[in-house]
Amino acid sequence: MYFSTKDILQPFHTTWLPGNVQAAMLRLDTIHPLVQGNKWFKLKYNLEAAGNTRILTFGGAYSNHIVATAAACKLYGLSSIGVIRGEKPTIPGHTLQKAAELGMELHYVSRELYAQLKSGGEMTRLMQHLLHDAYVVPEGGHNAQGARGCEDILALADTSSFTHILCAAGTGTTLAGLVNAGTGQHIIGISALKGAFSLEGEVESLLKAPSSRWQILHDHHEGGYAKHTPALIGMMNDFFRETGIPTDWVYTGKMVLAFRRLAEQNFFPPGSRVLLIHTGGLQGNESFAPGVLCF
């Protein structure tokens, strides 16, 4: 897939950012309307490894990974199957509708069966049939190929002069890739989930070498995965008005909220240069009623 990386690094300033701290956003959200953000990076080496085999992957009803996989497979002429956690909704949400439109075959499985499948447990005949001859990309692209793809993110622009890097974390695959590729920056993952304390171990499992240059903050989930608060929505609108940068409510909005709180607590020493990774996910905002967001 070809995309332009011109202007991908966008410096910004806001009223709440101390004058002695600089910030810039690496706009992975601009690379493609659907295969955007970190999802493309997590998929690229997986698709390469798949060859012509059809792709099977897993996700929930709000999964950006599901839409990105559907779109990338369409671009590559591969067929794709999405195993979706939970019973089929009467009216599928925007994310699943989009995936179906892009040609992904969707199969809904109960939460129990979904958990079993992910752990390689007992399978139904249907699942055996689906998995047959398919290249399996784990939920959220959490595997070594996924992390390897995320190493390429820091090479999109000259990122070596930054002192800190912030990114949203779901499975921690992106964070692991950034740590593997980092050149001395302190790397901070903002968990989008409540109490996901296994995340540190998930990241460690994908690191090429042990590192102490990273940490995960667990206090900025705003109620939990795919939950939001008025503070989050207000901040997303304010941030857009000040910088022109749109964020999503599941991941990148929480990262910017955390950045603001850290900046206000003087977490960053004077002279810090902070790079925020915009991991995309903007399609998820379409689930909001018009007018909630100003962009």
Ligand X SMILES: *Cc1c(COP(=O)(O)O)cnc(C)c1O
**Interaxial angle between packed helices 94-101 and 64-76, expressed in degrees from 0 to 180 and rounded to the nearest 10:** 10
User: What SS3 state is found at 230?
Assistant: helix
Range in contact with ligand X (rule: CB under 6 A) among 8-16, 88-96, 163-171, 235-243: 163-171
Q: Does 62 bind ligand X (CB under 6 A)?
A: no
Q: Which residues pair with 106 in a beta bridge?
A: 82
Q: How many residues bind ligand X (CB under 6 A)?
A: 20
* Amino acid identity, position 85: R
| Residue 271 Cβ vs ligand X, minimum distance, rounded to whole Å | 28
| Residue 60 Cβ vs ligand X, minimum distance, rounded to whole Å | 11
Instruction: Give the integer Cα–Cα distance in Å for 168 and 113.
Output: 28
Using CB under 6 A as the criterion, what x/- string covers residues 266-295 for binding ligand X?
-------------xxx--------------
Closest by Cα among 44, 11, 7, 46 to 28: 7
User: Which of 25, 37, 45, 70 contacts ligand X by CB under 6 A?
Assistant: 37
| Cα–Cα distances in angstroms (integers) from residue 118 to residues 16, 99, 178, 223, in the given order | 43, 20, 25, 25
Comparing CB distances to ligand X, the nearer of 81 and 250 is 250
Size of the chain in residues: 295
Using CB under 6 A as the criterion, what x/- string covers residues 134-153 for binding ligand X?
------x-------------
Say how far residue 257 (Cα) sits from the centre of its chain.
16
User: Which of 22, 27, 35, 38 contacts ligand X by CB under 6 A?
Assistant: 38
Residues that bind ligand X (CB under 6 A): 37-39, 64-65, 140, 168-175, 248, 251-252, 279-281
